[in-house]
Amino acid sequence: MSSVMRCGHGRTRGLPALLVGALTLAFALTGGPATAAQQDTLHELAAAQGKYFGSATDNPELSDAAYAATLGSEFGQITPGNSMKWDTTEPVQGQFDFTKGDVITAFAAQHDQTVRGHTLVWHSQLPSWVGNLPPAQVEAAMTRHITEEATHYRGAVTAWDVVNEPFNEDGTFRTSPFYTAMGTDYVATALRAAHAADPDAKLYLNDYNIEGLGAKSDAMYALVSELLDEGVPLDGVGMQAHLAVQYGFPYQMQANMRRFADLGLDVAVTELDVRMQLPSDTAKSDTQAAYYRQVVEACLAVERCVGITVWDYTDKYSWVPSTFPGQGAANLYDENLLPKPAHGAVRTALGAGDDGGQGGEPGAFKAQYRNTDASVGDNQIKPGLQLVNTGGTAGDLSDVTLRYWFTAGNGAATYSSWCDWSPIGCSHVTHRVVAMDTPEAGADHYLEVGFTGGSLAPGASTGEIQLRLNKTDWSAFDESDDYSRGSGTSYADAPKIAVYAGDELVWGIEP
Ligand code: G3I
């Protein structure tokens, strides 16, 4: 049993440290990343080097609170993945709808982020009416579309991908309604229209497979050289950087960036991800981390490389699996929004000190959870927890605590908590309820679970710890919105249950 303690959001210590002998349970290591406390965000690290670090996003994702929290805090720039494209903004000729894009620019304004506008002229996600126009009417339709959209977003968008993906792989121009109607001139016409509508926005041409030296990047180089010679308003080249571990790293990316920079253009990495054939394994994950690192290093080495945008930041919302069946795991964070080794590699490349962020470090832990309580409205909360040592060395349990967050509701402000059963023995488990000074959504208290001592071998699990808590007046809870509660009745990795080693968060996301 224990009674309630008051505590701020930060970490407090105070568990008894009686050593009870090693816990040498021999469950297999199931892997999984750990997060460690971090001092700087990706964007702060990049900004210290004069660059931005951004992510694509999309409207449906913003209702995912955990996703939006990391998007809003870790990144200094966002790009709408779909909401500013032609099929969304002018689905019917002359009928403009900027509702979705406005949500993105509002999010950016709230989080002090810049926005790359994506995209004004593209052969894809183009409503069929454009392709059905007589060629003689396409230029006017294109100019009107650009003018309306770039004017609407004036001040809210700092850069535009004015023309997206103009080239085929061999460097010839891609056929599109614009190319068919205007030939190569459509690019200059589009840039001039965008500049007239928003003279302050940086105007880009954007394409994939132009990251390294090769036929396609040569074509882009020739085009932008010609446009600059003609005095067409153009500020930069966007290199999408949809990479894949099985295709190798782009040939001489840094030298390629530099040749564009030497023309007086900015360069931006606009859509970075590194996919792989699933399932992921250590070798692929290491290659992926190396590719992410090399992209960051190339950008850092070229002054005119203004920043990097990942296409999106988590595997949870990646475009890859639906476009390349059997491939995925392309992003910096996994489907549970936990950072992967590539995230640590990016941080290191951006100059982070040894302050964490590297997934799966020795001595790391993870929490697993199952719901042992079918009722969300009764007078007890019953989480089942397991602690797993995911590191390569024995973990000292006297230093480890877990937190399960919940909301108290009405009734007594004092609690009893219980360990009902565990293979390691409930006498080795400590538990108490702590009230948060600053409640968060779904969390105004947490159950803190610790250990009287002992250690957990590499790969070992404590096995189930059956926990239970109630208010001392036995009034009911409403668990339906509780931050840490899940509905699964079998043990699974639980990112909403935190694990701390000492004062450091080593697993999970706090509310
Ligand atoms: O919104 C509809 C929804 O109503 C419908 O139920 C659903 C059924 O398929 O489709 C939804 O639209 C999808 C849209 O994303 C929004 O989620 C489209 O099918 C899907 O094709 C579209 O994919 C986008 C893709 O561009 C289209 O080419 C991706 O999200 C987007 O990330 C991707 O982004 C492109 C860049 O713009 C240019 N560079 C390559 C990059 C990756 O393909």
Same domain, 171 and 299: yes
Domain membership flag for residue 195: yes
Domain hosting residue 203, numbered range: 39-349
Question: Residue 116: beta bridge partners?
Answer: 159
Q: Both 112 and 137 in a single domain?
A: yes
- 304 lies in a domain? yes
Say whether both 57 and 199 belong to one domain: yes
| Closest by Cα among 221, 234, 246, 232 to 167 | 221
Q: Give the Cα separation of 165 and 168 in Å (integer).
A: 8
d(CA 385, CA 101): 42
Q: Both 105 and 240 in a single domain?
A: yes
**Contact indicator for 370, 441 with CB cutoff of 8 Å:** no
Residues in the chain: 511
- Centroid of ligand 1 to alpha carbon of 271 (angstroms): 14
165 counts as catalytic: yes
**Residue 8 belongs to a domain:** no
Eight-state DSSP code of residue 126: -
> Within this chain, do residues 317 and 387 fall inside the same structural domain, yes or no?
no
- Which of the listed residues 349, 376, 391 is the one where a domain comes to its end? 349
Return the structure tokens found at 162: 């004015």
Q: Per the domain annotation, does 333 fall within a domain?
A: yes
This prediction has a pTM of 0.69
Would 227 be classed as within a structural domain? Answer: yes
Cis geometry, peptide bond prior to residue 279 (ω within 30 degrees of 0): yes
The total domain count for the chain is 2
| H-helix segments, 328-467 | 341-349
**Is 169 in the active site?**
no
CA-to-CA distance for 431 and 450, rounded, in angstroms?
Answer: 6
Which of 293, 251, 303 lies closest to 272 in space, CA to CA?
293
Q: What is the CATH number of the domain that holds 405?
A: 2.60.40.710
Residue 387 lies in a domain: yes
Q: Do 370 and 335 sit in the same domain of this protein?
A: no
Same domain? 183 vs 298: yes
Domain match, 274 and 407 both: no
Q: Residue 66: give its domain's CATH number.
A: 3.20.20.80
Q: How far is the CA of 81 from the centre of ligand 1 (A)?
A: 8
Q: 3: closest CA among 474, 453, 470, 478?
A: 470
Classified as helix, coil or strand, 326 is: coil
Q: In this structure, what token pair is assigned to residue 58?
A: 């999309």
Whether residue 54 lies inside any domain: the answer is yes
Nearest CA to ligand 1 atom 1: 82
Looking at the structure, tell me whether residues 310 and 414 fall in a common domain: no
From 318, 349, 380, the end of a domain falls on 349
Q: Which atom of ligand 1 is nearest to the CA of 124?
A: 28
Q: Among 271, 361, 464, 479, which one carries the catalytic annotation?
A: 271
Beta-sheet strand order (sheet of 498-501): 5-7, 429-440, 443-451, 400-406, 498-501, 504-507
Helices (H), 267-396: 282-301, 320-323, 341-349
The predicted pLDDT at position 119 comes to 98
Indicate the pairing of strand 266-277 with strand 242-244. parallel
- Pick from 100, 121, 125 the residue to mutate for probing ligand 1's pocket: most ligand atoms within 8 Å of its CB: 125
> Would you give the distance in Å from CA 508 to the centre of its chain?
15
The pLDDT, as a whole number, for residue 399 is 83
- Residue tagged 């007890």 (tokens): 380
Cα dist. 47→42, 105, 127, 351 in Å? 9, 20, 38, 11
Integer Cα distance of 87 and 120 in angstroms = 10
The answer to whether residues 230 and 342 belong to one domain is yes
Quick one: 406 exposed, middle or buried, by C-beta within 10 A (0-12, 13-18, 19+)?
A: buried
Catalytic one among 90, 149, 165, 211? Answer: 165
Tell me the Ramachandran region of residue 99: left when phi exceeds 0, alpha when psi lies from -120 to 50, beta otherwise.
alpha
Domain boundary among 349, 373, 390: 349
Q: 407-442, pLDDT tens digit by residue?
A: 999 999 999 999 999 988 898 899 999 999 999 999
Same domain? For 121 and 257 the reply is yes
Beta bridge partners of 403: 448, 498
Q: Which residues line ligand 1 (CB under 6 A)?
A: 81-82, 124-125, 164, 240, 271, 319, 323
**Predicted pLDDT of residue 397:** 87
Q: What is the pLDDT of residue 52?
A: 98
The answer to whether 115 and 107 have CB atoms below 8 angstroms apart is: no
pLDDT of residue 98: 98
Q: Is residue 257 part of a domain?
A: yes
Whether residue 439 sits in one domain with residue 295: no
Tens of pLDDT along the chain (511 residues)?
Answer: 555 544 333 332 222 222 222 343 322 222 233 333 345 899 999 999 999 999 999 999 999 999 999 999 999 999 999 999 999 999 999 999 999 999 999 999 999 999 999 999 999 999 999 999 999 999 999 999 999 999 999 999 999 999 999 999 999 999 999 999 999 999 999 999 999 999 999 999 999 999 999 999 999 999 999 999 999 999 999 999 999 999 999 999 999 999 999 999 999 999 999 999 999 999 999 999 999 999 999 999 999 999 999 999 999 999 999 999 999 999 999 999 999 999 999 999 999 864 443 343 435 788 999 998 888 999 999 999 999 887 767 778 888 999 999 999 999 999 999 999 998 889 889 999 999 999 999 999 999 999 988 888 777 899 999 999 999 999 999 999 999 999 889 999 898 999 988 878 888 888 9
Q: Using an 8 Å Cβ cutoff, are 2 and 432 in contact?
A: yes
Q: Are 235 and 203 in contact (CB under 8 A)?
A: yes
The phi and psi torsions of 10 (rounded to 5 degrees) equal -75, 180
Give the model's pLDDT for residue 4: 54
Our mutation pick for probing the ligand 1 site, out of 99, 174, 319, counting the most ligand atoms within 8 A of Cβ, is: 319
Distance CA 172, CA 262 (A): 23
pLDDT of residue 29: 24
How far is the centre of ligand 1, averaged over its atoms, from the C-alpha of 126 (Å)? 12
The residue written with tokens 């190569």 in the block is: 184
